[in-house]
Amino acid sequence: MQKQVPFFMVLFAAALWGTTGTAQTFLTNSHPISVGAMRLAVGGLFLLIVAIGIKKFSFRRLPRKPLIFAALCMAGYQPFFFSAVNMTGVAIGTVVGIGSAPIMAGLMDWLFLKRKKTARWWLATLLSILGCFVLFLNGEAVVIQPLGILFALAAGLSFAGYTLLSERLIGYESPVSVTAVIFCMSAVILSPFLLIFDISWVLQSNGMLVSLHLGIAATGVAYLLFSKGLVRVPGSTAVTLSIVEPLTAALLGVFIVGESFSFLSWMGMIFIFLGLTILSLPAGVFKNREAKLRNIS
């Protein structure tokens, strides 16, 4: 059971990410990109305070190129994903953005890190992506906007790149230090958006509460758990597990926002649960099963 703790860390992190959409429904007159920039600013500051507070803030041993690329990936994910959702709608933007990330992470894992993907990983990943697609076939009009699709793919690539680079960086420093440095750098990169877009919504009571939730819970705590999980969970596997994010968002939409689910949406949830279950079970379960099948044949 202890070996599965990193998996649950990643799953809980993704569940916290899934609260961002519901939280944003409490905002008025806010641009999605300005919300993303504020989220990184609050999250980066929170992580920096935590790292300094527990005396684990250090970045001297971190290789510069992977660190810079990780920060660029995290900074790029925000405007890419939010722009994709604005252009194509939540359904297509989420399916293409989040659904493409596991495939991109697996390909990069194979091409650059030379780690072959098992049949178990492919089965779990395909089931999860299929579930993500079916989950959002809930009556929303499908808008195929080429530039929006391109932004969604860029968002998936950004998240996959951030995950694999973070997996490498935590080999040099503690997860809290790595996460704090990356998010502080990402916040600086996105800071111009806070000047371009109206951020007066932050001064409202709802705006302040949502900013704190997005920055502390859905960013600081979530990505800290995610980074700690990467100590034991391969990056490509963690990206697949993160598909619990749209699952959480959909459930919150039903139980809090008051949205309704179609039969297809419930089937999508089942597919995602199957994929995550396959990926989270100990590898020995599948090895023993394969050995028994070989003996029978």
* CB 210 within 8 Å of CB 26: yes
Tell which residue, 2, 15, 7, 9, has the closest CA to residue 233: 7
Question: What are the distances in angstroms from CA 254 to CA 95, 100, 126, 145, 155?
Answer: 18, 25, 25, 27, 26
pLDDT tens, position by position, 148-182: 889 989 999 999 999 999 999 999 999 999 999 99
Tell which residue, 82, 24, 34, has the closest CA to residue 257: 24
pLDDT at position 293 is 45
pLDDT at position 237 is 92
What are the structural domain ranges in the chain?
2-296
SS3 assignment, position 18: coil
Q: What is the mean pLDDT of residues 48-66?
A: 88
pLDDT at position 43 is 95
> Is the pLDDT score of 86 beyond 80?
no
Question: What are the distances in angstroms from CA 220 to CA 21, 43, 234, 239?
Answer: 17, 5, 21, 18
Q: What is the mean pLDDT of residues 32-51?
A: 92
Task: Give the Cα separation of 297 and 291 in Å (integer).
Answer: 10
SS3 assignment, position 202: helix
- The one-character DSSP state at 30 is -
C-alpha gyration radius of the chain: 19
- Give the count of beta carbons closer than 10 Å to the beta carbon of residue 277: 11
Question: What are the distances in angstroms from CA 93 to CA 132, 139, 160, 267?
Answer: 11, 15, 16, 20
pLDDT at position 285 is 55
Task: Give the Cα separation of 85 and 91 in Å (integer).
Answer: 8
Percent of the residues in the chain that have a pLDDT greater than 90, as a whole number? 48
In one letter, which amino acid is 88? Answer: T
String of DSSP letters for 75-126? HHHHHHHHHHHHHH-HHHHHHHHHHHHHHHHHHHHHHHS--PPPHHHHHHHH
Q: What is the mean pLDDT of residues 2-26?
A: 86
Q: What is the mean pLDDT of residues 205-219?
A: 94
List all residues 6 or more positions away from 124 whose beta carbon is below 8 Å from its beta carbon.
Answer: 240, 275, 276, 278, 279
SS3 assignment, position 25: coil
pTM for this prediction: 0.86
H or E stretch at 231: none
- Who wins on pLDDT, 259 or 100? 100
pLDDT tens, position by position, 268-293: 889 998 998 888 776 655 555 555 54
Task: Give the Cα separation of 167 and 163 in Å (integer).
Answer: 6
pLDDT tens, position by position, 93-136: 777 888 899 999 999 998 888 888 888 899 999 999 998 888 87
Dihedral over Cα of 152, 269, 245, 9: its sign: negative
- Who wins on pLDDT, 231 or 113? 231
